A and B are shown apart, each in its own frame.
Chain A
Amino acid sequence: MKKRSSAAAEENRLLELENEAVYMVREAYKKFKKPAMLWSMGKDSTALLWLVRKAFFGRVPFPLIHIDTTYKMPEMIKFRDEKAAAWGLDLKVVRNQAALKAGMSPASGGALKCCTALKTAALRELLKKEKYDAVFVAIRRDEEGTRAKERFFSPRGPGSEWNFKDQPPELWSQFQTDACEGGHVRVHPLLRWTEADVWKFIRKEKIQVIDLYFARNGRRYRSLGCVPCTAPVPSSAASVDEIIAELEGCGTSERAGRAQDKADDYAMQKLRVEGYM
């Protein structure tokens, strides 16, 4: 009896998160003139993409942006192209060609500089060019400390900068739905989700994710990124159920395998203030 009621509570909690996220997606779609969504093909943005399809009854009524550093894992690119075709996505792939031509890589520039050039700058340029006034990003509070301090609707300046010292009040589903002149608003529907919540949602909705998340030879990727900067972690979890069980008793954070987070004590703050996701 107790077990059943806690399962029901668990289900309710996931439903609450899901409906909250759908509300935000619809709100942003209604209020902004030109929204777009970042899709890295990772589990979070793929879960968000699924939520968007739920919100619009199978459709995705705005473009998806993949910021391609050219260092991404080949499995990710394959997954991207398959799903884009199958789901009829308006996919836009962008690269910072100038930086790539100049030879930018984690080896040549260091992880922080490389992320800034190939991701932050590429995104900033695209936003400027396309004048998107809202961008959906699948970040979560539990990923790291500065994301934990985010708003659901987070206004950014004309250069994508984040004024974290003066964020607008956000009460009762009344979000900041005005972008400033030349700026945009980052929309974070999964902000309140945990890593385990994302996996539980993937399980409930039977969403297909990239195989790299599942353990092979005692290791699996908890988080997907660029080949040089992303390492698999020791794990035996080879299915969604096993991943959820593993996370319930886990002692390290998810981005422990990501090099850019460790480059400096306040690395993520520095990246994010300038417009990193």
Chain B
Amino acid sequence: MPGADIKIVIAGHVDHGKSTLVGRLLSDTGQIPEDRKSKVEKICRAAGKRFEFAFLLDAFEEEQAQGVTIDYTEIRWRFGGRRFLLIDTPGHKEFSKNMVTGASRADAAVILLDAAEGIREQFRRHSHILAMLGLDRVVVAVNKMDLVAYDERRFAEIDSEVRSFLGKIGLPPAAVVPLCSIRGENLLEPASSMPWYKGLPLSGELLRLKPAKKAGQNPLRFSVQDVYKFDEKRIFAGRVESGVVKKGQKILFLPSGKETRVKTIENWPGPGAAAAVRGVCAGLTLEDPLFIERGEIGVDGPAGGKDRTAPFVSDIVPANIFWMGERPLAPGITYKFRLATQETGCRLVSVENVVDAATFEKLDQAEDSIARNNMGDVTLKLDKPLVFDEFSRIDVMGRFVLADDGRVCGGGIILKDARERLRYKGIKKRALFTEKSGVTREAREKRNGHPGFTVWFTGLSGSGKSTLARELEKELFGRGAQVYVLDGDNVRQGINKDLGFSSADRVENIRRLGEIAKLFSDAGLAVITAFISPFESDREAARRVVGAKRFVEVFLDCPLRVCERRDPKGLYKKARLGKIMNFTGVHSPYEPPSRPDITLRTDKLGVGAAVEKITGYLKKRGMLP
């Protein structure tokens, strides 16, 4: 059901003349009501200004007083037998969220820039946003040609800069048009001031824009919005987001996996329909009395086997995000993820890269968050698997928002290579599966994004166990892992406070720690232990208890003299003075591991490098995504 209006968003840097352009187009084609025009005339006269075309759209007193657009608006425009919807947007960085809101409704764009100023920050940011939103029909308007004396060379310069920049970000323009909107030059008619320009005026280029692509033979996606039981009939109200739903057809609901047939398509007033196409809010009744809730997605089916039209059902989402929140998009915060009628909690797992949308600079790899008005390529982890498609295949099912504290803060597009990314991450991908009941280890691993495991540090006192344990914990937590450190303090003061430092007590101490590490690992956590654990046999026992597959022994190899020199807790000194007995390295032996998983020379290696080695190893073992 494609609409007949071509929806065109007007984007570009602040003060480069977006609202003026729209006001002028409407005014020059006689599509501004007389009373609205005379109201603006009156306001401008009172302020001692010439007629401001922008005021036809910028209706707020604050907008007119400061000459800025605060929020977007849409206005119908008819020209050359075609219907357009012009979406005027603010250029200020501060109001980028309003520009995105307006642009999200468009299927083509005019990006505007000032001939004197050239490409500026918001031109770049807006272009990035349009590219991300999947717009592919773009006309560039080089405005204010009067300020550069209608100079052909200046235009040629900008033309080549613009084409090179937009080409780089995948948004090649259909045309670059020089004009002066305040004087109405080259808007509707070719301008005598620019005889060197041989192309069409702006309106001509707009007429050449093709209407939105037809939905075509897309597979069915019916998003259940609500279920009504006003009388004996149970009506599943929802929208056909893609494809067609037909009376009598087989329909499979995901992610529940329930299957039935469409009994009727309800209508009021009048008889039911035989089919409902994309965009229609339909009410279905079903053959079987199934329990289906809001958020289920009905698809054709089932085709069985390797159905290329099947959607993803996954809790891992690779996406491009534009962030509009006050606080940055960051790990450790739970957001609300909303796609069609589906909704669940979600967290940021990793940031693959961040783009400063103003400069098109890829920011430092170390970035693990996305600041306001920037965009990035991220991986999200949902609280439960949802149904989605790649944006490039079915746009409506491949775009979502993130809400922070009840307010929409980010818009996202599910990436083209979602399938490859999901496979790479070893996550169950494209499939029509149903979740088994009961909390299995797989379920825990899936939610956490990693298996439960234990990193067991061993080494002399002062070799860096506690320091490294804390640093590693911070790093894993930052990556979205469920992680916890068991160290001497939190264990000896609590569960092991009945134990002293006799040989027997030390063995029992380590035995209990092994058991605790096992329980935590079973619960799906990444456990890090930081104990001297001097005896090989005790460590081997811990490995058996936890399970060799999930146990990583890290030997912190540091010469005694270095440890003694460091002596962070003053224990060596006390031991030498005889105030502590049975101290490893002084009175009792330390048995170095014979086959540790990792050995780190902590007298030579910095903390950061050590953490990196460990995380690299964990990745290789499949313990981290």
A residues within 8 Å of B by Cβ?
A: 6, 9-10, 12-13, 15-16, 19, 22-23, 26-27, 29-30, 53-59, 61, 141-142, 144-146, 148-149, 151, 164-165, 167-174, 176, 178, 192, 194, 250-253, 256, 265-266, 269
B303 interfacial contact with A, CB 8 Å = no
Per CB-CB distance, the 8 closest pairs between chain A and chain B, nearest first, are A145-B59, A9-B4, A178-B406, A253-B33, A171-B104, A22-B281, A174-B401, A16-B3
For A167, the chain B residues whose CB sits under 8 A away are 71, 98
Bound CA–CA A164/B63 (angstroms): 11
CB-based nearest B residue for A147: B59
Check B35 against A171 for contact (C-beta < 8 Å).
Answer: no
> Which of B1, B30, B294, B396 lies in contact with A172, CB distance below 8 A?
B396
Bound CA–CA A19/B72 (angstroms): 23
For B73, the chain A residues whose CB sits under 8 A away are 141, 148-149
Q: Are A171 and B279 also in contact (CB < 8 A) when A56-B230, A165-B70, A269-B59 are? A: no
Question: Can you sample 7 A-B contacts with CB below 8 Å?
Answer: A19-B281, A54-B268, A57-B230, A165-B70, A167-B98, A173-B340, A252-B35
Q: How far is the CB of A236 from chain B (nearest CB, A)?
A: 19
Please choose the segment from B36-44, B149-157, B351-359, B610-618 that sits at the chain A interface, where 4 or more of its residues have CB less than 8 A away: B36-44
Bound CA–CA A269/B43 (angstroms): 15
Q: Are A23 and B225 also in contact (CB < 8 A) when A10-B4, A141-B75 are? A: yes
B residues within 8 Å of A by Cβ?
A: 1-5, 30, 33-36, 39, 42-43, 46, 57-62, 70-76, 83, 97-98, 100-101, 104, 225-226, 228, 230, 235, 237, 239, 266, 268-269, 279-281, 283, 294, 324, 338, 340, 396, 399-401, 406-409, 411
For B42, the chain A residues whose CB sits under 8 A away are 265
Q: How far is the CB of A37 from chain B (nearest CB, A)?
A: 17
CB-based nearest A residue for B294: A30
For B281, the chain A residues whose CB sits under 8 A away are 19, 22-23, 26, 55
Q: Interface majority SS on B: helix, strand, loop or mixed?
A: mixed
Q: How far is the CB of A190 from chain B (nearest CB, A)?
A: 13
For A169, the chain B residues whose CB sits under 8 A away are 97-98, 100-101, 324, 401, 408-409, 411
Besides the known contacts A23-B239, A145-B57, A145-B59, 6 further A-B residue pairs in the complex with CB atoms under 8 A apart: A13-B5, A56-B228, A149-B72, A174-B338, A174-B408, A265-B43
Check B57 against A148 for contact (C-beta < 8 Å).
Answer: yes
Bound CA–CA A73/B74 (angstroms): 33
Check A15 against B1 for contact (C-beta < 8 Å).
Answer: yes
Check A142 against B401 for contact (C-beta < 8 Å).
Answer: no
Bound CA–CA A53/B283 (angstroms): 13
> Which of B33, B76, B100, B266 lies in contact with A171, CB distance below 8 A?
B100
For B60, the chain A residues whose CB sits under 8 A away are 145-146, 149, 164, 266, 269
> Which of A6, A144, A194 lies in contact with B59, CB distance below 8 A?
A144
Bound CA–CA A146/B55 (angstroms): 12
Bound CA–CA A119/B399 (angstroms): 40
Q: Which of B230, B266, B409 has the most CB of A within 10 A?
A: B230
Bound CA–CA A178/B404 (angstroms): 12
Check A26 against B4 for contact (C-beta < 8 Å).
Answer: no
For A266, the chain B residues whose CB sits under 8 A away are 60-61
Check A253 against B59 for contact (C-beta < 8 Å).
Answer: no
CB-based nearest B residue for A144: B59
> Which of A57, A164, A252 lies in contact with B266, CB distance below 8 A?
A57
CB-based nearest A residue for B325: A169
For A252, the chain B residues whose CB sits under 8 A away are 33-35
> Which of B2, B72, B268 lies in contact with A53, CB distance below 8 A?
B268
Bound CA–CA A72/B46 (angstroms): 35
Check B100 against A164 for contact (C-beta < 8 Å).
Answer: no
Check A19 against B268 for contact (C-beta < 8 Å).
Answer: no
Q: How far is the CB of A245 from chain B (nearest CB, A)?
A: 15
Bound CA–CA A110/B391 (angstroms): 54
For B100, the chain A residues whose CB sits under 8 A away are 169, 171
For B401, the chain A residues whose CB sits under 8 A away are 169, 171-172, 174
CB-based nearest A residue for B61: A266
> Which of B75, B83, B269 lies in contact with A58, CB distance below 8 A?
B269
Bound CA–CA A266/B34 (angstroms): 17
Q: Are A192 and B3 also in contact (CB < 8 A) when A170-B408, A265-B43 are? A: no
Check A57 against B283 for contact (C-beta < 8 Å).
Answer: yes
